[in-house]
Amino acid sequence: MRSMEPMQETINSPNSFGDECRKLAFEWIAAWNDHDLEKILLHYSDDVEFTAQTVATRWNRADGTLRGKQELEKHFSRGLELAPHLLFELEDVFLAPSGYAVLYRRENGNRVLDVVELDQQQKAKKVTAYYLQSQV
């Protein structure tokens, strides 16, 4: 069995991929808390694939998936309209070789885990959002 020690050193080393992922997560949370749609969208690739229960609910899409930044912009804009007092509280960032997951709590008490796969430019190319409780 291979030791996990070298992996830990890489994740915890200065300027590591893990540091970059944490920075992206903090900036993403801040953009949402500022209700700044333009800054939020900077975190996503043009051909992003986004899957969430909110997509199924808002847009009547059985698979819950949006494709492309234009669809995502419409979805997030609607989300900001529905939650004018929206506030995310970052709980943790989990790391993977291809990206990260962000665990946060919303202003309504719901907890959410966004699993993010990054492209070569460190933009989210695939995101799946998991909600502890149903979210509109």
pTM metric for this prediction: 0.86
Fold of 5-131: Nuclear Transport Factor 2; Chain: A, (3.10.450)
Q: What is the SS3 string spanning the chain?
A: CCCCHHHHHHHHCCCCHHHHHHHHHHHHHHHHHCCCHHHHHCCEEEEEEEECHHHHHHHCCCCCEEECHHHHHHHHHHHHHHCCCCCEEEEEEEEECCEEEEEEEECCCCEEEEEEEECCCCCEEEEEEEECCCCC
Residue % of the chain over a pLDDT of 70: 89
pLDDT of amino acid 6:
43
Where along the chain do its domains lie?
Answer: 5-131
Task: With cut-offs at 50, 70 and 90, classify the pLDDT of residue 127.
Answer: very high
The pLDDT confidence band at residue 129, using thresholds 50, 70 and 90, is very high
